[in-house]
Structure formats: structure tokens, C-alpha cells
Amino acid sequence: MPALRLFGRKWLFGSDDLVFPGIFECSFRVVWLALISCVINKYWQNTYTCEEHGFMIRIYLASIIAIICVNLFLCVLLINRSAKGAITDVHERWLVAPLLTFKILLIIPETILNIFGTIWAFCGSVKCQNTDFYSKTVIEITVVLNWIVFGLVIFGLTIVYNPLGSSKYRKTHPETFLHKKVSKLWINRFRWIFCCLRRDEYSQEAFMQVASLLSALFRGTDLVPSDIIAGSILLRVRQKRETREMRRIRMLNPDDGPRYSTDMTRLFATSPPWMNLANARHMLRFALASYGWPMLCYLKCCSGCFKLLRNATCCGCCRNQSNIIDDNCCMCHFSGVKEISRLRTDDIVYISFKNHVFELPFCILLDHVKKQIVLTVRGSLSFRDVFTDLTADASDFQAVGFPPGSSAHRGMVIGAEKLIQKLEENGLLDKICETYEDYTLTLCGHSLGGGVSILIGAKLREKYPDLRVYAFATPAGLLSREAARVTESFAFTVGIGDDFVMRLCVESVENIRTNIIETLKACKLPKWRIMLNGFGYTMFTIPSRDLETTWRDVSELSLQQSAPLSNNDQVNAEAALVTREISSRRFAKTRLYTGGRILHIQRRKKTEMEKKTKTGGPTYEMRWCQAEEFQEFRVMPRMILDHLPDNVFKCLTTILEEQKTQKDSKVSLESL
């Protein structure tokens, strides 16, 4: 940070990104040098006995040795210079650009020599043949490896090439023009990478929306990919430091801050009877089933395939299955749904695994235990779903009982509308509800499916007033605030721990971008140290000393500061303006929140007495939360694991088992 300028353009890497690639190349070149040295020792004298081309062979071997030595020297210098200074101390690495330029130019003579080596080793045109097996083999391997290295260099330059690196758009064009150019670049990347996606108006809209979002997030930041990785590591250290400070404050003021409880009776005293953990766990099984056979194979790594075979149907695509849409030929998705949900075949009324951008798979199931007609929507499982997730700007959302001007996540709004349209095409839901008049319509879903379920529930609530929604790990950017309050009456949202999706919205991502820039500025460590520390943090957690020693000055962690990113005065003024512009630039005009009444569950920390006596208590504690509490994204070790549906299911199972054990113990004590 900032991006390295080379050959008159900016590239997608920084001057401090060459430490680890340089070490790898040095190791490779040292082995290469040793092998070529052995060849020269064995074969050099033989070249004088050749009738032709002996002099050319000697020039080739000597040149190879010279180029390897020069490359080794340049690699050592690049490693040394690239490792200097903190991430924003660009002036300490000013030699990196000229050294790298010279090293890249060495590819030209190295390629010429390798062409000659290829002719000598494989074509037989050079009349100075090598009869020594060792020398011949080493030369052939060296030639092949040299071409591989050449290919890797070209591939690396292609990866870090910035198509807009040489354009002076900021100086010569307005900001809107730059935004269009960057958006168009992202669209072209999507079309190339996701060429297998179906091309229709919805995919085009998704590409445009996501490209616009990414352009707004990263345009003008001068961040390279490694800066984002290093910034995420530093952000975790920073947030842990802030958490420690908050704990100290709460120790002085115990009444300050939210309170979690393990007393479920008191916790659910004010909630509707259907909002309880037993029902939530029961419905989560159906949400898991909507993922089909991939979820079954994930849950049962060893026996999943055999369980699929139990309900699989050979040549199912040739049979008339009007209630099963877009399953594979062996009906594996149907088999997975049946196995996970533990329902009979007759209770699986309709399944659609048709998956496109804004078009989500769903199932309609009959739950005779709870007397429910269950509509479960699948969460994100494909790149198509990811584009639905990332189409995250606010769109108008109208439903009965919602205040005028309500907004919702655009991708989920379109997904909900398409799903409702599919249900209304054949009057499918109406027919089922008429057949089972005494059954309650219940919707459920995990992640993306949870958000879409809430929106569908809002649309169908006028027709089915007793409708209920169980949503798990719902994304933060779902509904505008007043609309989210309306959903609290019919939607029950459950989230555990540090689930990142429950804190993921456009606004939180924009805040992360700004926090990363500020955190990189405040860090005093070089990038290679941050990367090594990040590996150590993953293996052994963060040491307490790193919470303080990582920063230049603790006061620099304040987000209110807009200090410059460089020590040069002229650059400082420009950097300060850029930082303020990035901090104030917002893609989303409307802030969106999580829907439903939110129950947050977290792991309970053991008391000192429990640690000393090695006794246990309740594993989890919980409380009702407001949607505003999930607007800050936090980098935590379990932020991905806490989002996975099987971990949510295990959490609810553990709580219910512990509650049952406590009740049994209480009953046995009372009987005594």
C-alpha cells in the first residue's frame, strides 16, 4: 500500500509483497546453481573435443551461471528492500521498483539462452553431443524448469496486471466516469470467470449491481489484495484489544452492557408460545434438508453416500415426477431431503432444485407432528446464490401492514417474488392449504433462505394470517428499520456466536474498508511479519503482548483521525483527502437491518469456581437483541463456523439436552 508503480503503470501488488516470492525463488535458484555447477565440472572439458559448437556450449553454460548468480543477487536485494518499513512506509522501499524492472528485463536474455538450450537438449541440431547421462539429464531438466519458470512469471504478471493502472482518470475525468470504467472492468471479469452461468436479464442485472458495489468499495483506495489480507489480520488484533478494554470497563461497571441469561423460562416469558428453541430446532432440520444431497454428504462424511443409495431412484429423469423439479437422474436431492427431514415420501409434496440468479431451490413438506405445511427455502450453495447475496442495494418493498417507503435487499426481493410467482402459477400452495385446512403454514430457511423466507412471509401474511417464519443466521442487510419491526410479530430469527453473515451488509462492509485503511496506517510491522503472525494466530491464538506492540501509537487507532498515509508532505495532503473521501463515500443510500425477533446465543464463559472444581454449567447463554446490534462486522476465529447450519443445529440440541438434564435433576431432588 499503495500499489507498486512499474513501467509507468500501477499493478495489483505492493512493494512489500516480494519477500515470500523472493525466498521461494532464491531456494529454487540455489538448487539450480548447484546442479549447473556440477554439469560444468563434469562436461566443460568435453566441449573442447567437439568438432562443432563447442564454443557455443561454453558460452551457454557460462551465461546460465552468470544469469543465475545475477538473479540470486537481485532476489536477495529485493527481499531485503521489500522487508523494510511498515506497510505505509513506501519511501523505505523506493529501490524495489528499479530492481524489479531490471530483474524482469533479464527474462529476455534468459529466454534466448533457453531457446538455445532446448535446441541442444532436444532437437539434436547442436553437434556437440553429451554422452554423460547425469549432465544430459540435468540439462534437459534445467531447460524444462526454465520454461516452467518463464510461464509462471507471465502468469503472475497477468494476475497482477491492472487494466486501469496507466489511466489518469482521477485527474482528467470526473468521478462518475471512473466509476463506470471500474464497473465495466468488474462486469467483464464476471463474464469471463462465470461464463457457465445462464445469460438472461437477471444475470446481467446481478453482474451490474455487484460490479457497481465493488467499484464503490475499492475505487480510489489504492489497496492491493495482500493489503486486504494483512488488514483483516490486524483488524482481528485491534478488535481483540478493544474487547479487552470493554471487559475492563464492565468489571468496573457490572451493570453496563448487555446481559445474557441461561434461564429460558424467564427469557421466553414475553414471547409468543411458538417462539421457543424446541420448535426452532425442529424447523432447522427442514432447513437443513433443503440443501439436498450435498448437506447429507457433509453431515455424514463416511456414510452419506450409502444413505443416499437407500432412497435413490435409478433413471428417475425418465419417470413422470411432476412434483420434483430439476433433480439429477438418480434423484439424489430428493433422497437427501427425505433422509435429513426424516419424512415419508408422501409427505414431500413438492421440490424444486432449479437454481439460477435470483431463483432459489425450495421444498414444500408436510409436518404431521406439529401439523404444519412447511415451505423451506435453501440458503447459498452456488455462485448463482452468491450473486443473489451480493445484489445488496435497497429496493422498494411493499406488503400489507408495512409502512410506506419500506426497503429491502434487492436480490432477496426478486428471489421472493419469483418464488411466490412459481407457487401461484399452478395454485400449488392454495391446493395444499385447502387439503390440510387445520394445518399452519410455516416458512423456514438458513442464511439467504432465511432472509427470503421472511420476505415471502411478509407477502403471504395477508392471505395466511397465522403464518410463522423461522429464520436462522439471517443476513444483516434485509429490511429498513420500520419494516424490520413489523416482522418481529411473525418471524423468529436465531443466530449464534460470531456469525459473520448476521453482521454482513453493505454498510458494515464499507466500515470494514475504512477500518482496514486506518488499521494499516496505524500498524508499525512490515507486511511479511503480519502474514507470519497471522499464521501463528491461527495455530496458537493471539498473544497478549501483540495487542499493544503491533501499533505505532494506540491513539492512531481512532477512526475519527484522517491522518496521511505517507511521510512526504505533498503526498500527505492528497492521501488525507483520499482517506476522507473513501470514509464518506457510501454505496447504500438506505441502511438495512435483520428481520424478525432476534434471539442471539453465545458460549458461556466458565466462572472461576467452575474452572477450579472442573465442573460444568450451561454451555450457552442467550438474550433478545435489537437489529442495530448487528451492524458492526467483527473478525473472529469462529465467524464462519458459527454460520454453518449444522453448528446451529448442534447448539440448539445442546441447549435442549442441558435443559432436560436440569429438569430431571430438579425433579429427582424434589422427589427426595
C-alpha span between 468 and 449 (Å, rounded): 15
Reply yes or no on whether the pLDDT at 598 is more than 80: yes
CA angle 148, 150, 152 (to 5 degrees): 70
Identify the weakest region by mean pLDDT among 303-307, 360-364, 448-452, 531-535.
303-307
Fold of 270-292+353-503+590-672: Rossmann fold (3.40.50)
- To 10 degrees, what angle do helices 383-390 and 448-460 make? 60
Reply yes or no on whether the pLDDT at 671 is more than 90: no
Which DSSP letter does residue 122 get? I
Reply yes or no on whether the pLDDT at 345 is more than 70: yes
Sheet holding 362-367, edge to edge: 324-325, 348-352, 362-367, 372-377, 440-446, 468-472, 491-496, 597-603, 620-625
Identify the weakest region by mean pLDDT among 80-89, 516-525, 662-671.
662-671
Q: Give the model's pLDDT for residue 584.
A: 63
Distance of CA 128 to the CA centre of its chain: 57
Q: Give the model's pLDDT for residue 170.
A: 52
Identify the weakest region by mean pLDDT among 13-27, 308-322, 433-447, 539-553.
308-322
Interval 252-273: pLDDT, tens: 666 566 788 888 889 999 899 9
User: Would you place residue 362 in the very low, low, confident or very high pLDDT band (cuts 50, 70, 90)?
Assistant: very high
663: amino acid identity, one letter: K
Higher pLDDT, 255 or 35: 35
End-to-end CA distance of the chain: 70
Q: Give the model's pLDDT for residue 168.
A: 59
Reply yes or no on whether the pLDDT at 563 is more than 50: no
Q: Give the model's pLDDT for residue 568.
A: 43
User: Would you place residue 587 in the very low, low, confident or very high pLDDT band (cuts 50, 70, 90)?
Assistant: confident
Averaged pLDDT, 376-393? 92
Reply yes or no on whether the pLDDT at 566 is more than 80: no
The phi and psi torsions of 558 (rounded to 5 degrees) equal: -70, 130
Q: Give the model's pLDDT for residue 164.
A: 79
Reply yes or no on whether the pLDDT at 315 is more than 70: no
User: Would you place residue 228 in the very low, low, confident or very high pLDDT band (cuts 50, 70, 90)?
Assistant: very high
> Which residues lie closer than 8 Å to 640 by C-beta, 6 or more apart?
500
Averaged pLDDT, 275-292? 96
Q: Give the model's pLDDT for residue 499.
A: 95
Q: Give the model's pLDDT for residue 669.
A: 65
Q: How many CB atoms lie within 10 A of CB 333?
A: 28
What's the 3-state SS for 71-118? HHHHHHHHHHHHCCCCCCCHHHHCCHHHHHHHHHHCHHHHHHHHHHHH
Averaged pLDDT, 225-231? 92
Identify the weakest region by mean pLDDT among 32-46, 501-515, 521-535, 640-654.
32-46
Cis preceding-peptide flag for 2 (omega within 30 of 0): yes
User: Would you place residue 561 in the very low, low, confident or very high pLDDT band (cuts 50, 70, 90)?
Assistant: very low
Averaged pLDDT, 461-488? 95
Q: Give the model's pLDDT for residue 630.
A: 92
Q: Give the model's pLDDT for residue 87.
A: 92
Q: How many CB atoms lie within 10 A of CB 175?
A: 13
Q: How many CB atoms lie within 10 A of CB 222?
A: 17
| Three-state DSSP state, 51 | coil
Averaged pLDDT, 236-252? 82
Higher pLDDT, 308 or 643: 643
Which DSSP letter does residue 352 get? E
And the C-alpha cell for 446?
438458513
Higher pLDDT, 439 or 196: 439
Interval 154-190: pLDDT, tens: 888 888 888 877 655 555 556 677 778 888 888 888 8
Q: Checking phi first, is residue 219 left (phi over 0); if not, alpha (psi -120 to 50) or beta?
A: beta
And the C-alpha cell for 60?
551457454
Q: How many CB atoms lie within 10 A of CB 475?
A: 28
C-alpha span between 36 and 34 (Å, rounded): 6
Reply yes or no on whether the pLDDT at 612 is more than 90: no
Higher pLDDT, 266 or 249: 266
Reply yes or no on whether the pLDDT at 559 is more than 50: no
Q: Give the model's pLDDT for residue 38.
A: 86
596: amino acid identity, one letter: G
Higher pLDDT, 552 or 461: 461
Q: Give the model's pLDDT for residue 583.
A: 62
Bridge partners (DSSP) listed for residue 348: 365
- To 10 degrees, what angle do helices 645-671 and 277-289 make? 150
Establish how many alpha carbons lie within 13 A of residue 398's alpha carbon, considering only the half-sphere containing its beta carbon: 2
Identify the weakest region by mean pLDDT among 39-43, 477-481, 498-502, 509-513.
39-43
Reply yes or no on whether the pLDDT at 428 is more than 70: yes
Domain ranges of the chain: 3-159, 176-244+506-584, 270-292+353-503+590-672, 298-339
Reply yes or no on whether the pLDDT at 94 is more than 80: yes
Higher pLDDT, 168 or 488: 488
Which DSSP letter does residue 407 get? E
Reply yes or no on whether the pLDDT at 560 is more than 50: no
| Three-state DSSP state, 381 | coil
Q: Give the model's pLDDT for residue 316.
A: 54
Averaged pLDDT, 587-599? 89
And the C-alpha cell for 87?
506497510
Averaged pLDDT, 103-122? 89
Which DSSP letter does residue 607 get? P
Residue entry with cell 441447549: 655
Reply yes or no on whether the pLDDT at 615 is more than 80: no
Burial code (b: 16+ CB inside 10 Å, e: under 16) for 478-488 equals bbbbebbbbbb
C-alpha span between 470 and 5 (Å, rounded): 52
The per-residue pLDDT of the chain, averaged, comes to: 86
Averaged pLDDT, 534-552? 89
Bridge partners (DSSP) listed for residue 600: 495, 623
User: Would you place residue 557 in the very low, low, confident or very high pLDDT band (cuts 50, 70, 90)?
Assistant: low
Averaged pLDDT, 417-435? 90
Q: Give the model's pLDDT for residue 648.
A: 96
